Amino acid sequence: MKAIYFSSLLFCTAFRAAANDVAAIKYDTQDFVLDGVFTQGVEGPAVDKNGVLYAVNYQKQGTIGRVRAQNQVDPLLTLVNGSIGNGIRFDSAGNMFIADYVNHNILTVSADALKLGKDVSGLVRVFAQDSRMNQPNDIAITDKGILFASDPNWANSTGNLWRIAQDGQVTLLEANMGTTNGIEVSPDNKTLYVNESVQRKVWRYDLDEKGNISNKQLLISFADFGLDGMRSDKQGNLYIARYGAGQVAVVSPTGALIKTITLKGQYPTNVAFGGKDGRTLYVTMQKRGAIEMTRVNGVGRLF
C-alpha cells in the first residue's frame, strides 16, 4: 500500500458492486488482532501448514509478525536495507516468499528457518530481484511453485504483471495495465486472476503449466471504491478486499457477485484463509492496524 493509493480513493462515498444488486451479508466479524498492534501498513496475511498466521509491519514498518492465536503476536523478522514487505505466500514445502516493494525484491525464508520458532531476521534471502519493477506488491503461487507478482505504479495509475520461475528468473508478462494489485491462481492452476485497484477491474487469464498466460478477459468490474488483495477458495470463488467499502466481495469463477461480507473497519487490504477447517477468513485492516476474522462457507484453496 502507498499513500497515493489512499488519496486516490477518497472521492468514494457509497458502495455498489457493478451491475449486481446484491445485499451485503453481516457476518459475525470480530477482531483477531486488536487495533494498533500492526502499523497502518498491515498487509500480506498468509497461513502456514501449522495454522500460524503471518502479516507484514508488526509494530513498525519493515517487520513481519507471527500470530500464533487470537491476540498472541510475536516478531518473526525485521528486514534490512530499508526493505518493506507487502504480499506473503507459502509454497508446498512451507517456504515463505515476501514481496519487498522498496528494493524490487522477492525475498524468501526457508521452511527450516521458520521451524526454529524464533526471530529469523538473519535468515532472509533474496530469491529474485529486478530493478525494472515499480514495486512488487501482491504475489500468487501455483502448486508447482511458479510465482506471479502485481507491480503497481500508484502515481501514474498503471501497473505491470510479472512471473518469477522456480529458479528466481523474472519475466515481464504484461506492461501498462491499470493499477495492478490483488493476484491469485485458481484451484486447478489453469487461471490467473489480477485486479486493478484504481480502475476497479478484475481480469482473468488462461494459465498453462509453464506459467504462460493467454486469452485475457474481464471477469468483473465495480462502480466505486478500490480493489486490493484477494484469495480463492477450493470452489474457485474469489474473496476480494474492497478498500474503502469495508467489505469483502465474493465473486464466482464466471464473474457473478455471490455476496459481500461487511467488516467492522472500512479499509481492508488483503485476506487469507485459515482456522482448523480452512473456513476462517482473516482480513488485514489498514487505518486500524488490526486483523479481523470471520467464518465463511468456502475452504481456502491452499488450506
Beta strands in 59-164 (DSSP E): 63-69, 72-78, 85-90, 96-100, 105-109, 125-129, 139-141, 147-153, 158-164
Domain around 273: 3-295
The count of C-alpha atoms lying within 13 angstroms of the C-alpha of 104, restricted to the half-sphere facing its C-beta, is 10
- Decide if 119 is inside a domain: yes
User: How many domains are there within the chain?
Assistant: 1
- Decide if 300 is inside a domain: no
Alpha carbon separation from 87 to 83, 240, 255 (Å, rounded): 13, 14, 24
Q: What are the respective helix, strand and coil percentages of the chain, to the nearest 5?
A: 5, 50, 45
Q: Is residue 278 classed as helix, strand or coil in its secondary structure?
A: coil
**Which residue positions form the known binding site for a divalent metal cation?**
181, 228
- Decide if 121 is inside a domain: yes
Reported as a single tens digit per residue, the pLDDT across 44-68 is 999 999 999 999 999 999 999 999 9
pLDDT at 152 over 90: yes
214/175 Cα distance (integer angstroms): 14
pLDDT at 21 over 50: no
- Decide if 302 is inside a domain: no
Q: How confident is the model at residue 25 (pLDDT cuts 50, 70, 90)?
A: low
Is 228 a catalytic site residue?
A: yes
- Decide if 276 is inside a domain: yes
pLDDT at 274 over 70: yes
Are 65 and 59 within 8 A, CB to CB?
yes
pTM of the model: 0.91
**Which residue positions form the known binding site for substrate?**
137
Reported as a single tens digit per residue, the pLDDT across 83-108 is 999 999 999 999 999 999 999 999 99
Give counts: helices (H), strands (E), the chain: 2, 25
Write a three-state SS string for 171-199.
EEEEEEECCEEEEEECCCCCEEEEEECCC
pLDDT at 198 over 90: yes
CB count in 10 Å sphere of residue 216: 13
pLDDT at 137 over 80: yes
Tracing cell 508478462 back to the chain, one arrives at 173
- Decide if 301 is inside a domain: no
CATH of the domain at 267: 2.120.10.30
Are 164 and 178 within 8 A, CB to CB?
no
**Which residue positions form the known binding site?**
137, 181, 228
pLDDT at 181 over 60: yes
What's the pLDDT score for residue 17? 35
Q: What percent of the chain stands above pLDDT 90?
A: 89
Q: Is residue 249 classed as helix, strand or coil in its secondary structure?
A: strand
- Decide if 230 is inside a domain: yes
pLDDT at 142 over 80: yes
- Decide if 303 is inside a domain: no
pLDDT at 20 over 70: no
Identified catalytic residue from 167, 228, 233, 277? 228
pLDDT at 74 over 70: yes
Q: How confident is the model at residue 28 (pLDDT cuts 50, 70, 90)?
A: confident
Q: Is residue 168 classed as helix, strand or coil in its secondary structure?
A: coil
pLDDT at 249 over 60: yes
Q: Are strands 24-25 and 257-262 parallel, antiparallel or unpaired?
A: parallel
Mean pLDDT of 140-163: 97
Tracing cell 507471527 back to the chain, one arrives at 66
Nearest to 3 by CA among 221, 258, 267, 251: 267
Q: Which three cell numbers stand for residue 44?
A: 500480506
Are 194 and 182 within 8 A, CB to CB?
yes
230/273 Cα distance (integer angstroms): 10
